[in-house]
Amino acid sequence: MRNLLSDLVVVDLTRALAGPQAAMMLGDLGARVIKVETPAGGDDSRGWGPPFVGEESTYFLSANRNKESVTADLKSAEGKEFLTKLVRRADVLVENFRPGVLDRLGFSNERLHELNPALVILSITGFGHDGPEGGRAGYDQIAQGEGGLMSVTGEVEPTKVGVPIADLLAGMYGAYGALAALHERSVTGKGRVVRTSLLAAVVGVHAFHGTKWTVAGELPERVGNHHAQIAPYGMYRTRDDIVQVAVGSEGQWRTFAPVVGLDATDPRFTTNSQRVAHRDELTAAIEAAFAAESADVWLQRLAAVGIPAGKVRDFQQVYEWEQTRSQGLLIDVDHPALGPIQLPGPPLRFDDNPYAGARETNLPPPRLGEHNATVRAWLEEDV
């Protein structure tokens, strides 16, 4: 197959997670991603652990596949010259500095577009590029709290999501915006600046919680492992484990109720609104029925009548699950220091590739400065 974005060069000036995630997504689609790192230590996440495998941070490995690494001191004349050459050959530049940092280095958006009018610039910040708090440093958990996500997560105390979701979403939105700008460029021939932030990404996924406030004037509350507006839809205890059940329609409720010994016409539970209002009573009744059998027995019973249900798997169980493997969600790469390793792979498949992503060959996360010679030699070639 042909790498979908194989004609594109991406300059990755980012570190930590949101920016690296965006650049990696473009790399997963086949773009050549050149990660520019400081000579002294490189991307901050190279030092984030434990765990480390050898000298390699598993955190860094998670967000930097399908990239090359070069080192340059962008405060030096030599580093500025190197970046200037790189920008002239690039299609996309991704950066997640605080507002104003690139300007002080001599690479404002205006200067970048003087060097390359067709360049798409993706800029990711913590709280936005302007506004009263536009200059704040952004970290995932802080953005989860400031953006309201923690207020609807957990049971008693506000709780962060178990993965750095603000960073990951900002990276996804950033890549999405960059692709839109590249499409526009195919018509106009001109690049543009695309901006997003951790705050914007979190607010962007408020979904029905957001409209509950903006339209109905009701403040969303934490409901733990149950859906805020659908019941029964959540986590229930069986004799030996827990089962997740999603009853998403009235038809499914009429099927589900007799399986657990409930009367579908009970006036407390007849409609979804009534079931949400009487959620505690409904949960207690379901768990009383579930207590008689194991989780596996209940999963079989629910599957037999078409009720969506599932387990809560740990990461070992997820990666050993045949369904995960059948979807190409693990990739094999040959790391220059670690040898053959497996990584969580791109979450996209295309019809002419049985594996995840859009590359013929996935590249391992690079060692610091691993591609200094090859990238610098490429920049000296005639275009």
pLDDT tens-place string over residues 319-344: 999 999 999 899 999 999 999 999 99
pLDDT of residue 314: 95
Shared-domain flag, residues 68 and 100: yes
The Cα 56–Cα 67 span in angstroms is: 15
Helices and strands in the chain: count of H runs, count of E runs: 16, 15
Q: Which domain holds residue 190?
A: 9-205+322-380
CATH number for position 54:
3.40.50.10540
CATH number for position 275:
3.30.1540.10
pTM beyond 0.85, yes or no:
yes
The Cα 120–Cα 117 span in angstroms is: 9
Catalytic residues: 167
Q: How many domains does the chain contain in total?
A: 2
pLDDT of residue 168: 98
**Quick check: is 189 in a domain?**
yes
CA within 13 Å, CB half, 194: 28
| Strand order across the beta sheet in which 233-237 lies | 233-237, 242-246, 309-310
pLDDT of residue 287: 96
- Show the low-confidence residues of the chain (pLDDT under 70): 1-2, 354-357, 383
**Quick check: is 216 in a domain?**
no
Shared-domain flag, residues 183 and 156: yes
Residue 40: CB atoms within 10 Å: 8
Shared-domain flag, residues 338 and 294: no
pLDDT of residue 360: 79
Shared-domain flag, residues 73 and 178: yes
Q: What percent of the chain has pLDDT over 70?
A: 98
The Cα 284–Cα 111 span in angstroms is: 64
